[in-house]
């Protein structure tokens, strides 16, 4: 994820910016850069690659000293990792520099407008419109220009702005993307995260959405982007650096589970509308005509990404009425799949580098199939080789156990399936509307589930002593059960199996005995009674059942040993909620058993070998 660092004071800013950015390295990035106001004007140095590359560049072309500057580590979103796409970005006259975290949804229309006014764009990024936009409003008052520009921007942004004409000021704005202001003695800091500034100060202001800060050596003025003054409490950070890197969470996995409300917002942002066209996927090169020509779909992926594909299969079949096969990539590539130019192949990969998935992608292309990739990493091999890409905007995932990548893959599938259905005219508007509404409610609903983490923790501590566990469910619940089971195995080393609830009686029921823990998902109204019958079957054999159901189905509480009721949503969307308690269950079980949650034994984050 991108990182921001800003400094104003009396010390040379270059070293402070670089050291601050290094503290954000753990978040992942692909390029880095700084802009400093010096006696010779504003200087920008940036490069693709690690901060070490930037340092080498600065050794070759040393900067005149300057005590005001901004820096950035970029995780590519709009535009591949490259020198030109790296931040900071400047206006045409190179007088204003901007670093930005987030996504500007309306950047294309702004770019067109600014280009028509003469702005010269040099990058593929959405960020560059911000520097040109601010410049277009700048009549000698950078604060006012930033306020006017902020009003025009749609989407998520945390920005830091430096102006050569007013080098005694730094301006910071937050809208849906975190930003903090560090308070020192005669010096002040901007950081996208606490670790960036912790070496210098523990006193911070945490900006809220719609707020901005104007930093000088002598003080910090807080205001809204409309210019109304804001007063807020300083926050004293008492975490050490290791804890701060995880935003105060004990592990990256727990942090990433809690990142999900924001990751959902970012992934849906600019793609969903509460009216026609409902879904808009501007990045797709596939035309409606071409989309209508496909006769079948193959979804190919590994591990957790494959499990997202199982949900995607049901969404595409149900909404777009196309036959879909979902298969693990390591099998797919060797079984001579029946591929034609009328087959749409969707490959799913968080990293975009998984060897089996890549091989499947190449096999599909060799047979002339059109490949759409769902991935989290811009510039990854999968993203480069696919014909089309739908990015999940989850931000870097550091824990080996995938959480926010899975859930945002679900959202990408929902958006794609709705788009396909609309183009193929297989789903009436009266059905699309409630689905879109349900999707837009997800971020807040996920946040409300996360508030109940303690309920899951106590169940996790209960199962931590067991060696076997079952997950059961039907339809969408079965697809999610498979992901819950993988998560538990992967980090708690408890053996578990996911079973289609109706299939248990054909053999596996023999394994249920007194006290066997069973997690039963029953979120699907159409299948509810059937699932309840299966729950009865296991309980009659002594199983201890933890039920997960929608809040509409309170009667399940009296039928199981424990229950967690989820906020109600559209049944097809429920995996995006029901996976959250399963992730927490795996996490807390691993903690209770004393394992290294973020680095489970025998596993790697990215599997680049067959
Ligand atoms: O990077 P990818 O999404 O292609 O990775 C695929 C699997 O290796 C990955 O999802 C794996 O199953 C996770 N560690 C599970 O948490």
pLDDT for 506-546, tens place per residue? 999 999 999 999 999 999 999 999 999 999 999 999 999 99
CA dihedral 115, 120, 122, 124 (to 10 degrees): -10
Ligand 1: residue of 302, 308, 400, 579 to mutate (most ligand atoms within 8 A of CB) is: 302
pLDDT tens digits for 219-236?
Answer: 999 999 999 999 998 988
- Alpha-carbon dihedral of residues 169, 175, 179, 181, nearest 10 degrees? 40
Q: For residue range 50-66, what is the model confidence (pLDDT) as tens digits?
A: 999 999 999 998 888 88
Q: What is the pLDDT of residue 425?
A: 96
Domains belonging to the chain, first-starting first, are 3-245 (3.60.20.10), 256-446 (3.40.50.10490), 452-592 (3.40.50.10490)
By the 8 A CB rule, do 218 and 167 touch? no
Q: Which stretches does DSSP call E strand in 164-315?
A: 170-175, 180-183, 188-191, 203-206, 211-215, 220-224, 235-236, 296-301
- Token look-up 């196309």 returns 322
Cβ burial of 184 (10 Å; 0-12, 13-18, 19+) is: middle
Q: Are 258 and 587 in contact (CB under 8 A)?
A: no
- Please say whether the beta carbons of 359 and 329 come within 8 A: yes
For residue 39, is pLDDT > 90?
Answer: no
Closest approach atom of ligand 1 to CA 605: 14
- Cβ–ligand 1 distance for 450 under 6 Å, the answer no
Calpha distance 503→517 (Å, rounded): 17
Q: What pTM value is reported for the model?
A: 0.79
Q: Give the DSSP letter string of 523-543.
A: --GGGHHHHHHHHHHHHHTT-
Lookup: tokens for 168: 């005694």
DSSP 445-486: HHHHHHTTHHHHHHHHHHHTT-SEEEEEESTHHHHHHHHHHH
Quote the CA–CA distance of 299 and 347 in Å, as a whole number: 6
Query: 350: Cβ below 6 Å to ligand 1?
Result: yes
Q: Is 530 a catalytic residue?
A: no
Does the beta carbon of 402 sit less than 6 angstroms from any atom of ligand 1?
yes
Atom of ligand 1 nearest to the CA of 401: 16
**Measured from the CA of 603, which atom of ligand 1 is nearest?**
14
Q: What six digits make up the tokens of 288?
A: 């409606």
- Res 351 pLDDT > 70: yes
Distance between CA 495 and CA 294 in Å, rounded? 40
Give φ, ψ of 117 to 5 degrees: -85, 0
Give the mean model confidence (pLDDT) for residues 349-361: 93
**Cα 405 to ligand 1 centroid, rounded to whole Å:** 9
Q: What pLDDT, in 10s, does the model give residues 375-390? A: 998 778 899 899 999 9
Nearest partner of 87 among 157, 20, 162, 35, judged by Cα? 35
| Ligand 1 neighbour 606 (Cβ under 6 A) | yes
Would the CB of 400 count as within 6 Å of ligand 1? yes
Pocket test for ligand 1, best of 329, 348, 354, 358 (most atoms within 8 A of CB): 354
Pocket test for ligand 1, best of 256, 346, 350, 390 (most atoms within 8 A of CB): 350
Neighbours of 18 (CB within 10 A): 19
- Catalytic, out of 80, 365, 599, 605: 605
Ligand 1 pocket member 349 (CB < 6 A):
yes
Ligand 1 contact, 119 CB (< 6 A): no
305 Cα to the center of ligand 1, angstroms: 6
For residue 282, the model assigns a pLDDT of 87
Residue whose pair of structure tokens reads 């989290």 in the numeric block: 376
CA of 400 to the centre of ligand 1 (A): 8
**What number is the average pLDDT over the span 567-580?**
98
Q: Which atom of ligand 1 is nearest to the CA of 402?
A: 16
Give the pLDDT band of residue 92 (cuts 50, 70, 90). very high
Atom 4, ligand 1: residue with shortest CA distance: 349
pLDDT band, very low/low/confident/very high, at 134 (cuts 50, 70, 90) = very high
Q: Kindly state the percentage of the chain with pLDDT values over 90.
A: 81
The reply to whether 365 belongs to the active site is: no
Q: CA torsion sign, 400 to 402 to 403 to 408?
A: positive
Residue whose CA is at the smallest distance from ligand 1 atom 10: 304
Answer yes or no: is the C-beta of 407 below 6 A from any ligand 1 atom.
no
* Ligand 1 contact via 303 beta carbon (within 6 Å): yes
Distance of CA 220 from the midpoint of ligand 1 (Å): 44
Which ligand 1 atom is the nearest neighbour of the CA of 405? 3
Say how far residue 94 (Cα) sits from the centre of its chain: 32
Active-site pick, 2, 23, 43, 111: 2
Answer yes or no: is the C-beta of 304 below 6 A from any ligand 1 atom: yes
pLDDT at 609 over 80: no
pLDDT > 70 in the chain, percent: 99
Number of H helices, E strands in the chain: 19, 24
Q: Flag whether pLDDT at 245 surpasses 80.
A: no
At 301, give phi and psi (nearest 5°).
-170, 180
- Tell me the pLDDT tens digit for each residue of 105-131: 899 999 999 999 999 999 999 999 999
Which whole number is the average pLDDT over 451-455? Answer: 96
Please, are residues 448 and 305 in contact by the beta-carbon 8 Å criterion?
no
Is the Cβ atom of 351 under 6 angstroms away from ligand 1? yes
- Residues 388 and 370: beta-carbon distance below 8 Å: yes
The answer to whether residues 98 and 159 touch, using CB atoms and an 8 Å cutoff, is: yes
- For residue 329, the CA-to-ligand 1 centroid distance in Å is 12
Q: Quote the CA–CA distance of 525 and 529 in Å, as a whole number.
A: 8
Among protein residues, the one whose CA lies closest to atom 11 of ligand 1: 303
Show the CA angle centred on residue 474, arms to residues 497 and 588, nearest 5°: 45
Distance CA(596)–CA(587), nearest Å, equals: 10
What is the rounded distance in angstroms from the CA atom of residue 177 to the CA atom of residue 100?
9
Take residue 432 and report the two structure tokens written for it: 């699309």
How far does CA 348 lie from the centroid of its chain? 15
Contact 65, 10 (CB under 8 A): no
* 270 Cα–ligand 1 center, Å: 27
Contact 225, 211 (CB under 8 A): yes
- Is the N-terminal amide bond of 277 cis, ω within 30° of 0? yes
- Closest C-alpha to ligand 1, atom 7: 303
Ligand 1 pocket check: which of 303, 377, 408 to mutate, most ligand atoms within 8 Å of Cβ? 303
């Amino acid at each position: 994820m991108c990182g921001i660092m800003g400094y104003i004071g009396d010390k040379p800013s270059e070293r402070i910016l670089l050291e601050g950015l290094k503290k954000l390295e753990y978040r992942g990035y692909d390029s880095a850069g700084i802009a400093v106001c010096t006696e010779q004007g504003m200087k920008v140095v940036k490069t693709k690659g690690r901060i070490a590359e930037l340092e080498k560049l600065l050794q070759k072309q040393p900067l005149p000293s300057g005590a005001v500057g901004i820096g950035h580590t970029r995780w590519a979103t709009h535009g591949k990792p490259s020198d030109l796409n790296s931040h900071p970005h400047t206006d045409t006259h190179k007088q204003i520099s901007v670093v930005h975290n987030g996504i500007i949804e309306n950047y294309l229309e702004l770019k067109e407008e600014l280009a028509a006014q003469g702005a010269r764009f040099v990058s593929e990024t959405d960020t560059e419109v911000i520097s040109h936009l601010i410049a277009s409003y700048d009549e000698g008052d950078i604060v006012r220009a930033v306020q006017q520009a902020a009003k025009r921007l749609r989407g998520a942004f945390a920005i830091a702005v430096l102006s050569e004409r007013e080098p005694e000021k730094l301006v910071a704005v937050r809208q849906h993307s975190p930003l903090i202001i560090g308070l020192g003695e005669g010096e002040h800091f901007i950081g996208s995260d606490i670790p960036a500034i912790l070496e210098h100060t523990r006193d911070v202001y945490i900006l809220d959405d719609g707020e901005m800060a104007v930093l000088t050596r002598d003080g910090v003025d807080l205001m809204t982007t409309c210019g109304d003054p804001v007063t807020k409490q300083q926050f004293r950070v008492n975490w050490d650096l290791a804890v701060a890197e995880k935003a105060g969470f004990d592990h990256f996995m727990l942090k990433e589970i809690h990142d999900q409300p924001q990751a959902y917002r970012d992934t849906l942002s600019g793609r969903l509308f509460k009216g026609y066209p409902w879904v808009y996927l501007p990045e797709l090169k596939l035309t409606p005509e071409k989309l209508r020509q496909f006769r079948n779909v193959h979804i190919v992926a590994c591990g957790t990404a494959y499990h997202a594909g199982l949900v995607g299969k049901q969404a595409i079949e149900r909404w777009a009425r196309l036959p879909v096969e979902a298969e693990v990539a390591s099998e797919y590539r060797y079984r001579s799949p029946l591929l034609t130019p009328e087959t749409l192949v969707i490959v799913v990969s968080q990293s975009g580098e998984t060897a089996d998935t890549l091989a499947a992608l190449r096999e599909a292309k060799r047979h002339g199939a059109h490949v759409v990739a769902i991935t989290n990493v811009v510039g990854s091999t999968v993203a480069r080789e696919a014909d089309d890409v739908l990015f999940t905007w989850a931000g870097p995932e550091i824990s080996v156990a995938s959480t926010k990548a899975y859930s945002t893959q679900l959202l990408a599938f929902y958006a794609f399936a709705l788009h396909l259905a609309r183009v193929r005219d297989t789903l009436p508007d009266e059905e699309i509307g409630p689905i879109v509404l349900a999707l837009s409610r997800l971020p807040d609903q996920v946040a409300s589930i996360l508030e109940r983490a303690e309920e899951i923790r106590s169940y996790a501590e209960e199962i931590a002593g067991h060696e076997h566990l079952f997950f059961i469910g039907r339809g969408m619940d079965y697809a999610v059960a498979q992901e819950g089971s993988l998560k538990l195995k992967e980090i708690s080393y408890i053996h578990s199996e996911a079973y289609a609830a109706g299939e248990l009686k054909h053999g596996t029921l023999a394994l249920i005995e007194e006290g066997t823990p069973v997690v039963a998902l029953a979120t699907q109204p159409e299948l509810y009674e059937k699932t309840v019958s299966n729950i009865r079957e296991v309980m009659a054999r002594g199983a201890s059942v933890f039920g997960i159901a929608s809040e509409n189905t309170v009667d399940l509480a009296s039928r199981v040993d424990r229950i967690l009721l989820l906020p109600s949503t559209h049944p097809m969307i429920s995996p995006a909620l029901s996976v959250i308690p399963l992730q927490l269950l795996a996490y807390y079980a691993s903690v209770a058993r004393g394992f290294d949650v973020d680095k489970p034994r025998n596993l790697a984050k990215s599997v680049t070998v067959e």
